[in-house]
Amino acid sequence: MSEFTLVGAINAALRYAMAHDPRVVVFGEDVGPLGGVFRATDGLYQAFGAQRVINMPLAEALIAGVAVGLAAQGMRPVAEIQFMGFIYPAIDQLINHAARMRIRTRGRLSCPMVLRAPYGGGVHAPEHHSESMEAMFAHIPGLRVVVPSSPRRAYGLLLAAIEDPDPVVFLEPKRLYRAAKEVFEDDGAPLPLDRCEVVRSGTDVSLITWGAMMRETQQAADTLAAEGITAEVIDVATLKPLDAATIQGSLEKTGRAVIVHEAPLTAGFGAEIVATIAGGALYSLRAPVLRVTGFDTVMPLPRLETHYMPSVHRIVEAARTTVCSE
């Protein structure tokens, strides 16, 4: 058993996958001797050499394109984009090639690639470093979108993503990279994709979130518990495909839901969850579903970043509103 931060868990998962599968290669900007800007690939260059840990130029479309080509030829590439704000040139490759590979070739080829990217705010970074655009990737048919919320989840979900036969966008909440440590065994055990995790049981309201917002949501659940309101906390983890059954099952028990994400409100992934609830658990609802989100603006850095991010207070107020709405 070892103790890991989230970024340490990412590193351990990559190291394990590379040690046990020669098809796994890692590449991106500064991932080699430097170990990446967040040190997620620290030591991998020294352990596996320049042919498997490859520094790439500042060309995100190239990074994604190389990943597509390697994956189509049987490799298991793990490509890193330094920040989500730099990921947009790669979208052409994701939409037009990675996500279409299986359909385009009538199943003759697949695209088992992982595109990793740190994302989200809360670290007072400059412009183009704090985006939370996960809904955009979830809208692309053929892609999986995975967001870990803890070191243990990051380790197991990344290993599962590397094993998956189709492309995965793996978004790492950088605010959590070194926020906490967790003890678990570095045994290469993957966690199941496409499945929500109920991290806290409750009967009064379902708090549904993912990534870094898990911290504030669990703190809000603690505050609500002190008031006699028991909240069920759900970590979505895999946004696409969404585990509707777990969410609907929770709503059948609580009858109320608050969805939390730091992305802007309009067309955020929370809206998809609301639609899923309406389609499968409408008659279980005892109050309207509420969302606690970022605002429909670019992250107002640096001074207003804290105001932009969903807070424990905002989550608690939304939960109180829906619980007391009857």
Do 111 and 219 lie in one domain? The reply is: no
Do 152 and 224 lie in one domain? The reply is: no
Instruction: Give catalytic status of residue 128 as yes or no.
Output: no
Strand, coil or helix: what is 115?
Answer: strand
Half-sphere exposure of 143 (CA within 13 A, CB side): 26
Whether 319 and 255 have beta carbons less than 8 Å apart is answered as no
Considering 152, 184, 216, which residue would you say is the last residue of a domain? 184
Is residue 20 domain-resident? yes
Is residue 204 domain-resident? yes
Is residue 191 domain-resident? no
Is residue 192 domain-resident? no
Considering 159, 184, 209, which residue would you say is the last residue of a domain? 184
Residue 200, CA distances (Å) to 2, 169, 252, 272, 287 in order: 24, 26, 16, 22, 21
Do 106 and 222 lie in one domain? The reply is: no
Cα distance between residue 232 and residue 234, in whole Å: 7
Tokens of residue 195, six digits = 């499945």
Considering 133, 160, 184, which residue would you say is the last residue of a domain? 184
Do 144 and 171 lie in one domain? The reply is: yes
Do 172 and 232 lie in one domain? The reply is: no
Do 123 and 227 lie in one domain? The reply is: no
Do 165 and 296 lie in one domain? The reply is: no
Catalytic residue from among 20, 97, 128, 129: 129
Whether 210 and 195 have beta carbons less than 8 Å apart is answered as no
Residue whose token pair is 């609500």: 224
**Would you give per-residue pLDDT tens digits along the chain (326 residues)?**
899 999 999 999 999 999 999 999 999 999 999 999 999 999 999 999 999 999 999 999 999 999 999 999 999 999 999 999 999 999 999 999 999 999 999 999 999 999 999 999 998 887 778 999 999 999 999 999 999 999 999 999 999 999 999 999 999 999 999 999 999 999 999 999 999 999 999 999 999 999 999 999 999 999 999 999 999 999 999 999 999 999 999 999 999 999 999 999 999 999 999 999 999 999 999 999 999 999 999 888 878 899 999 999 999 999 999 999 76
Cα distance between residue 299 and residue 121, in whole Å: 8
Whether 143 and 135 have beta carbons less than 8 Å apart is answered as no
Cα distance between residue 155 and residue 238, in whole Å: 14
Number of structural domains in the chain: 2
Whether 264 and 136 have beta carbons less than 8 Å apart is answered as no
Do 225 and 119 lie in one domain? The reply is: no
Write the CATH number for 90. 3.40.50.970
* DSSP label at residue 122: S
Do 118 and 206 lie in one domain? The reply is: no
Do 13 and 140 lie in one domain? The reply is: yes
Is residue 190 domain-resident? no
Whether 272 and 243 have beta carbons less than 8 Å apart is answered as no
Do 214 and 291 lie in one domain? The reply is: yes
Do 168 and 234 lie in one domain? The reply is: no
Is residue 309 domain-resident? yes
Cα distance between residue 11 and residue 116, in whole Å: 12
Half-sphere exposure of 10 (CA within 13 A, CB side): 30
Residue-range definition of the domain harbouring residue 202:
197-323
